[in-house]
């Protein structure tokens, strides 16, 4: 007769998921204070032989993929970020600050899925069915194929999903921190519950081939609440970002096993829900009657999409140590560009406070935006605006040389489409120069090439 295994007790950090031998005031792994709590885990199941796994040749696996195509939700911006739609059997985690519009986004996407692919089960652990239905009415997102459920027990949610597994297009759980498992001790939202709930959802998705979307809360630092294990269990992690003072919302993928993580979806929050912005470049460029000092337009790439963004710089007298305040721009790279301006262009701004902002809440992460930041700072230092209709892009080196940006043809085409009359970019190799001249003839844009920072300043302000 085998002995019955007792439940195991252990101490787990609620911030990073590390397991310790006992209680500590400070977690030895992540250095967080007062985050270690005692948890009781259920005994593991008895030893039994594992069932045989199905082995499929890689040449035959493509037929499985063809039989299970992606499921588009009807919103092009979401499908763009996902890589074309939801993959059957995948688990997607959507995170974002409170009140940013995560539930609104999912309800609108659920209606599109229901219209095109079948039944969608929306399980809410935070609101009642009446509250969710009221939001559906406000958004115009009511559909017979959209089923609503208010439940906090994962067993009940999966039971309802399994009954409709053959016709289920997607299962949405809002949110993973409010749902708990009866087989696991502890309050909803702790490490053990999140792990158990997510594992159950992953098992359901892989077994029945139904895509699952779960909502995750974020902390004050903007990180997904719970351990990093939650991100490792899912197939894709989406981040819904935005500023409460602006109506622009952006959807990014920080992890995607079935597509690129460089794509960007842009939305506008309105009273009747989220509206897709098909031409985001116009939303990020300020429409002025006359050019402004310290403003420069650059062409950035967000995945396969070129965007025109505005960079603003302001220089002011420093009292004490000069400050470098950046919004959407890397402050380390700004310090490098200020040193390059001083050494290779004779523009000394190291003794002044420098403020740089990427308009619209965007982040300029690629080096191709270096030249725009540099010219915006130079414009503010000279107190001279750049010519109207000027777009610049290129990487700046420490020796003062300019390096070409990738996919210049796509950036030039976007600049010409939005009415830019002049484009300044690095000279680069001969093939790059020939391509620029060819596009100049085709698009009717005055393309100017510069080799160094000094030449760029002369061409920009000349």
Q: Which residue has the tokens 């540099």?
A: 374
Element (H, E) at 411: helix 408-417
- In whole angstroms, give the CA distance from residue 67 to residue 89: 13
Q: Is 145 annotated as a binding residue?
A: no
- In whole angstroms, give the CA distance from residue 259 to residue 236: 9
**Burial level of 399, CB count in 10 A (0-12/13-18/19+)?**
exposed
Q: Is 103 annotated as a binding residue?
A: yes
Q: Which residue has the tokens 């970019």?
A: 425
Q: Is 102 annotated as a binding residue?
A: yes
DSSP string for 214-262: EEE-B-TTSPBSS-THHHHHSSEEEEEEE-TTSSEEEEEEEEETTS-S-
Structure tokens at 10: 């252990």
Cis ω on the peptide bond leading into residue 229 (within 30° of 0)? Answer: no
Structure tokens at 397: 């080196």
Neighbour tally for 365: CB within 10 Å: 15
Q: Which residue has the tokens 């081939």?
A: 209
Q: Is 101 annotated as a binding residue?
A: yes
Strand partners, 448: 424
DSSP string for 276-305: E-S-HHHHHS---SS--TTEEEEEEEETTE
Q: Which residues contact 346 (CB under 8 A, 6 or more apart)?
A: none
Backbone angles phi, psi at 292, to 5 degrees: -110, 150
Backbone angles phi, psi at 32, to 5 degrees: -85, 145
* C-beta of residue 216 within 8 angstroms of C-beta of residue 102: no
Q: Is 192 annotated as a binding residue?
A: no
- In whole angstroms, give the CA distance from residue 273 to residue 283: 18
- In whole angstroms, give the CA distance from residue 327 to residue 384: 22
Q: Is 99 annotated as a binding residue?
A: yes
Strand partners, 236: 92, 256
> Can you give the C-alpha Rg of the chain in angstroms?
27
Q: Is 100 annotated as a binding residue?
A: yes
Binding residues for ATP: 96-103
Binding residues: 96-103
């Amino acid at each position: 007769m085998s002995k019955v295994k007792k439940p195991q007790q252990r101490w787990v950090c609620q911030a990073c998921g590390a397991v310790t031998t006992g209680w500590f005031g400070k977690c030895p792994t992540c250095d967080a204070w007062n985050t270690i709590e005692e948890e009781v885990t259920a005994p593991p199941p008895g030893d039994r032989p594992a069932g045989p796994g199905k082995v499929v040749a890689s040449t035959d696996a493509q037929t499985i993929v063809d039989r299970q195509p992606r499921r588009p939700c009807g919103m092009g911006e979401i499908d763009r970020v996902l890589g074309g739609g939801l993959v059957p059997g995948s688990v997607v985690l959507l995170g974002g600050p409170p009140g940013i519009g995560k539930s609104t986004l999912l309800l609108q996407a659920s209606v599109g899925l229901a219209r095109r692919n079948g039944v969608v089960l929306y399980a809410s652990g935070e609101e009642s069915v009446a509250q969710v239905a009221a939001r559906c009415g406000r958004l115009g997102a009511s559909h017979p194929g959209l089923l609503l459920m208010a439940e906090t027990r994962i067993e009940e949610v999966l039971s309802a999903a399994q009954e409709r597994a053959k016709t289920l297009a997607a299962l949405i759980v809002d949110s993973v921190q409010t749902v708990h498992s009866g087989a696991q001790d502890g309050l909803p939202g702790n490490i053990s519950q999140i792990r158990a709930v997510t594992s159950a959802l992953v098992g359901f998705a892989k077994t029945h081939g139904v895509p699952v979307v779960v909502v995750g809360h974020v902390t004050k630092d903007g990180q997904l609440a719970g351990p990093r294990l939650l991100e490792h269990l899912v197939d894709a992690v989406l981040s819904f970002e935005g500023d409460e003072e602006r109506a622009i919302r952006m959807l990014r993928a920080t992890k995607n096993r079935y597509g690129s993580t460089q794509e960007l979806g842009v939305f506008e929050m309105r009273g009747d829900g989220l509206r897709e912005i098909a031409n985001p470049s116009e939303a990020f460029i300020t429409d002025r009657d006359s050019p402004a000092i310290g403003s420069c337009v650059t062409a950035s790439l967000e995945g396969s999409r070129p965007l025109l963004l505005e960079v603003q710089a302001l220089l002011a007298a420093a009292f004490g140590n000069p400050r470098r305040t950046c919004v959407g721009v890397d402050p380390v790279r700004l310090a490098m560009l200020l040193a390059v301006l001083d050494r290779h262009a004779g523009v000394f701004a190291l003794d002044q406070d420098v403020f740089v902002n990427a308009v619209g809440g965007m982040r300029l992460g690629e080096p191709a935006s270096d030249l725009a930041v540099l010219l915006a700072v130079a414009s503010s230092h000279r107190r001279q605006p750049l010519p109207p209709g000027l777009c610049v892009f290129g990487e700046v080196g420490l020796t003062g040389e300019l390096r070409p940006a990738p996919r210049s043809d796509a950036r030039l085409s976007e600049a010409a489409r939005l009415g830019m009359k002049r484009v300044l970019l690095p000279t680069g190799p001969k093939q790059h120069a020939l391509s620029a001249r060819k596009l100049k003839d085709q698009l009717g844009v005055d393309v100017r090439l510069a080799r160094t920072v000094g030449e760029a300043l002369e061409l920009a302000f000349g």
